[in-house]
Amino acid sequence: MRNDKSVCILTIIILAGVFSSSRVTIDAKGSPTYNVAIVSYHFRPQNINITTGTNVVWTFWINGTDSGDVHTVTSDNQTQSGAGIFQSALMHAGQTFTYTFYSPGKYPYRCSVHPTTMTGLVNVTGPALNPPSSGSSYLPLYVGLSAIAAAVVIGGVAFYFRKSRRAGKIQPQTM
């Protein structure tokens, strides 16, 4: 009798711990990375071919003839609002800008400070991918799993005590 109760309580604690700490996340680690140098008023290489899910890192080198200037990485492709699909802030020598491409297509880009001399193209092939979501978008799933876990635990405890009471293992206490 005591052993059954201990096993039941231990099972409840384990289930509660497992379900209360469950979170569904998408990890972008392991994505391929392609490096582009910004040096002497050029993007090197100027044109790149990548697959969907690749991170492109533009690095403004500090040893070029332009190290005292500023540059940007600005997409010529625009959203409905007119903003570039990707756009860095003003970059100083030594800074980087990273963008991950999830949709196939051709993405011409330029430096908005030097738009006629600094241009490039990212050609992306492969299937369209969904970008990873932030953890907060999984809140309904997290709450739902916790509610299911709580219902299972409560139901298990109620079933155990009901079965024990019918078997005469638990006697109602009177004072």
Residues with Cβ within 8 Å of 59's Cβ and at least 6 positions away in sequence, in order, are: 35, 36, 37, 38, 95, 96
Of all residues in the chain, the percent with pLDDT exceeding 90 is 47
Query: So what's the pLDDT on residue 81?
Result: 74
Q: In terms of pLDDT, which residue wins out, 57 or 144?
A: 57
Q: Which helix (H) or strand (E) holds 157?
A: helix 139-166
Of 80-94, 95-109, 128-142, which one has max mean pLDDT? 95-109
Q: In terms of pLDDT, which residue wins out, 126 or 165?
A: 126
Query: So what's the pLDDT on residue 87?
Result: 94
Domain boundaries, the chain: 2-25+134-166, 33-125
Is pLDDT of 105 > 90? Answer: yes
Q: Where are the beta strands (DSSP E) in 47-164?
A: 47-51, 54-60, 74-75, 96-101, 105-110, 119-125
Q: Around Cβ 29, how many Cβ atoms within 10 Å? A: 4
Q: Which residues pair with 108 in a beta bridge?
A: 121
Cα separation, 129 vs 90, in Å, equals 29
Cα separation, 44 vs 71, in Å, equals 14
- Whole-model pTM above 0.75? no
Q: What tokens were used for 162?
A: 């009901």
Contact 145, 21 (CB under 8 A): no
- Checking 162-171 for CB contacts under 8 A at 24+ apart, the result is 164/1, 164/4, 164/5, 169/1, 169/4
Which of 48, 46, 54, 11 has the alpha carbon at shortest distance from 30? 54
Query: Measured in whole angstroms, how far is the alpha carbon of residue 121 from the centre of its chain?
Result: 26
Query: So what's the pLDDT on residue 115?
Result: 94
**Neighbour-count burial for 105-120, b at 16+ CB within 10 Å, e otherwise:** eebebbbbbbeeebbb
Q: For domain 33-125, give the CATH superfamily.
A: Cupredoxins -  blue copper proteins (2.60.40.420)
Query: So what's the pLDDT on residue 79?
Result: 77
